[in-house]
Amino acid sequence: MSITGKSVKLGDNINTDFIISGRYKFAITDMKELAKHIMEDIDPNFAQKISPGESIIVAGSNFGMGSSREQAPLVIKEAGIVAVLSGQFARIFFRNSFNIGLPLIETDTSKIDEGDQLQIDLNKGLVKNLTKGIDLKIKPLPKFMQDLLAEGGIINYYKKYGELKI
């Protein structure tokens, strides 16, 4: 599985309240509307920086910490983000993201800058920074996780296959 896109850079310790502010948790239930407010407590113009289907969030370490708020990965996916790269993800955020088919990649992101063109090869365990001509190694994802991503998440996978094939 290969993913390409342009980086949108964030720092360390991006919690679920930064991804989507708690003030919207019950006020807005439509994901398309909620996606307009992605990361606005960090950067009020963040949603305008995203090119749906072409943007990859690149953050430091500890991405997705905080609550188990399922809206956080849903909003990222609804905003059109194709993947998230970070030095480390909070475990429950990691699982929630794969459940909905949002690829999360753990790697050293210090050599990626805002606007760098990236190509992620999940089979080979490689992120190519095409802008800088460098390769970053990642741990290849197990086949069953790649299968979940290919089907758009666990619900679509179960609808198609009826069971998880590990």
Whole-number pLDDT of residue 161: 86
With respect to CATH, is domain 2-139 assigned 3.30.70.120? no
Q: Interior CA angle at 41 toward 3 and 63, to 5°?
A: 45
Whole-number pLDDT of residue 165: 66
Whole-number pLDDT of residue 166: 63
3-class DSSP state of 84: strand
CA-CA distance, 125 to 90, in Å (whole number)? 20
* 115-141 per-position pLDDT tens digit: 999 999 998 899 999 999 999 999 778
Query: Taking the complete model, does pTM exceed 0.85, yes or no?
Result: yes
Q: What is the mean pLDDT of the chain?
A: 91
* 34-79 per-position pLDDT tens digit: 999 999 999 999 999 999 999 999 999 999 998 777 889 999 999 9
Average pLDDT over every residue of 84-91? 95
> Do residues 145 and 1 make contact, with C-beta atoms less than 8 angstroms apart?
no
Token pair for residue 27? 């006020």
Whole-number pLDDT of residue 61: 93
